[in-house]
Amino acid sequence: MLLVASIVLGPLGYVFYLLYLNYNHVYKKIQSMHKPVMIGNTPECQDRITLEKVSGQLPSWLNGVMYRVGPGVFNIKQKNGITYTIRHAFDGLPMVHRFQLNGSTQTITYNSRHTAKSLEKEISSGADKGLVFFGHVPEVSFLTWLINWIVRLNNLILRPKPIHLTKPDGKSVGVTVTPNYTLPAGVSMNNGLSKKSLVAKTDANVLQKLHAETLVPELVFSYKDYDPHLNGPFSAAHHQFDPETNELFNFSLHLFPKPKMTVFKTSKEGQTTLLAEITHRKSDHSEFRASYIHSFYLTKNYVIIPESPLVYGDQGLNALLQGAVLSSMRWIDQAPLYFHVIHRNEGGLVASIPAPAFYTFHVANAFEEVSLDGDLLLHLDSSAFSDGDIIYQVRNFGGTFLQDDLSLKRTKFNGFTFPPFQQTSFGHLTRHTLNLNQHTAVFAHILAENIEFPRFHQELIGKPYRFVYGCRIIHDKRSTGLAKVDVSNQSVIQHQESGYEYSEPIFIPHPQAKSEDDGVLLSLANHTECCYLVILNAIDMKELARFKIGQFTAITFHGSFVDYAFKSINLN
């Protein structure tokens, strides 16, 4: 009947009919992929408090500040009395946590802040129709969906608002938080900003400067403020950083009219250099696919960016229609991954090396080695997933472990398993070795199974190293523990507690360290309704101390640590 009506109404009616089909076959399908146990809001603590020590002792040398960031607000009361519930863990409005550790006095002080309050007010007032989330799609009628699309079309394409006019807390920026992040010259000279640089980042081309002590949002900006060519809508939440040169590296990604990635570096003085513009692969000059890139690799001489088969398959059209970036993603079966190798000093795309497909959220370290035959080898370590299903399995990250209904009939939707299985394992910590002389992938070697959020000694970035620390799902105990991997012999030491959810560990080396692993790990641990800060001995993975943060669950993705002089010790 609708098709007949559309024919009678002419071209406009046919467009309306196509939109209705998209609503039924794409929007509702994406929506049905997200039915997790809902996560509650985490209360902020703007005034600094002293945490209660539960057990153990802080090492006397452990002095500094840890920042962590993650989703804090999932439920927003609207003016009509209805609660707006965010249904994807990645889309909870962000919250930044600050821990000041003093080993001499055995005290830890804590403060936190929700950093997107203007956006929260926008949602609570009902003026949220132009929003684009990562994976969240609300339950709305076709008419409301159509209105939302028209507003997004106007706000994002027809009359986009310059980012410098956005309120400091008007964007959701909450994946990584980095102290000492080099600011663009125009931003660093802006009057009224605090001197210390603390910057939150996400996979969109938007950054947020925060006050390093109060965590008050001060400014939102983008990589376009570094260079006008860096104006693509996407970037990597995880930049790369060289602690010896103080250079940072990232890219700007365009989807339309054709995929294009611009790779750049910024010096500690704020000078930005464009290293490469990638539209075609170096190997066969085939077209570059715009893929979802959350992190990438750095060695002494090269930036290596993985183009996986997890791609934006429609140049962002469905993201505009549905209001969820995830709706534009596709997993291309049987397609290879390409490692794009860019020279970080001379610039230029050196190679595009094909390899068997995998997807990685998070890389570990990478380094160069000259083989016995004189070939230059690049060793690239990351947590590798065999397909793209993880993109839907993380929808309830940090929530309750659920049992799968194995009686459900599963099919494929955009290359993903539908309905998705519950996540029972992370990817495997895998070393991919490239031969840069021959432009080939030599081999992929699993270093340890079921490892995510890999961290290591910051001073060894781009150098041979031995130890990786990360998270590991312990499914039979319904928990997420911590693991230490010795990449030299693939041995693993594990720290786990039944019912506890540990977050990414941050390695802090002893000031007079006698070995690479001489130091501690900092991690948050959630248990039912209580959150703890836990300090482990990085050598044997045994607990040294535990502090109670509060009667709530605090989900954090990533964190960084600086000493009292605000010197970077381990950044994310």
Kindly state the helix (H) or strand (E) to which residue 78 belongs, with its residue range: none
Q: Which long-range contacts (CB under 8 A, 24 or more apart) does 261-264 make?
A: 261/232, 261/288, 261/290, 261/305, 261/340, 262/229, 262/230, 262/232, 263/303, 263/305, 263/342, 264/223, 264/226, 264/227, 264/230
CA 206 vs CA 80, 352, 561: distances in Å: 31, 28, 22
Name residue 19's amino acid.
L
Per-residue pLDDT at 283: 82
Q: Mutual orientation of helices 142-152 and 11-22 as an angle, nearest 10°?
A: 100
The pTM of this model reads: 0.95
Is residue 306 packed enough to be buried (19+ CB in 10 Å), middle (13-18) or exposed (0-12)?
buried
What is the average pLDDT across 98-114? 98
The residues, any chain, with a CB within 8 Å of residue 192's CB and separated by 6 or more, are 218
413, 314 contact by CB (below 8 A):
no
Q: How is residue 399 written in tokens? A: 């929530």
The model's pLDDT over 215-270, given as tens digits with 9 standing for 90+, comes to: 999 999 999 999 999 999 999 999 999 999 999 999 999 998 899 999 999 999 98
CATH 2.130.10 fits 34-570, yes or no: yes
Q: Mutual orientation of helices 2-9 and 11-22 as an angle, nearest 10°?
A: 150
142, 23 contact by CB (below 8 A):
yes
HSE, CB side, 13 Å, CA atoms: give it for residue 166.
Answer: 26
362 is in an annotated binding site: yes
254 is in an annotated binding site: no
Pairing of strands 530-537, 558-562: unpaired
Confidence of residue 390 (pLDDT cuts 50, 70, 90): very high
For the ranges 59-73, 142-156, 400-414, 521-535, the lowest mean pLDDT is seen at: 400-414
The model's pLDDT over 493-507, given as tens digits with 9 standing for 90+, comes to: 999 998 899 999 999
114 is in an annotated binding site: no
294 is in an annotated binding site: yes
What is the average pLDDT across 311-322? 89
263, 273 contact by CB (below 8 A):
no
The model's pLDDT over 537-570, given as tens digits with 9 standing for 90+, comes to: 999 999 999 999 999 999 999 999 999 999 999 9
The model's pLDDT over 418-442, given as tens digits with 9 standing for 90+, comes to: 878 878 889 999 999 999 999 998 8
Q: Which of 483, 468, 366 is nearest to 425 (CA)?
A: 483
Confidence of residue 405 (pLDDT cuts 50, 70, 90): low
In the predicted structure, residue 466 carries a pLDDT above the cut 60:
yes
DSSP letters for 422-447 = PP----EEEEEEEETTTTEEEEEEEE
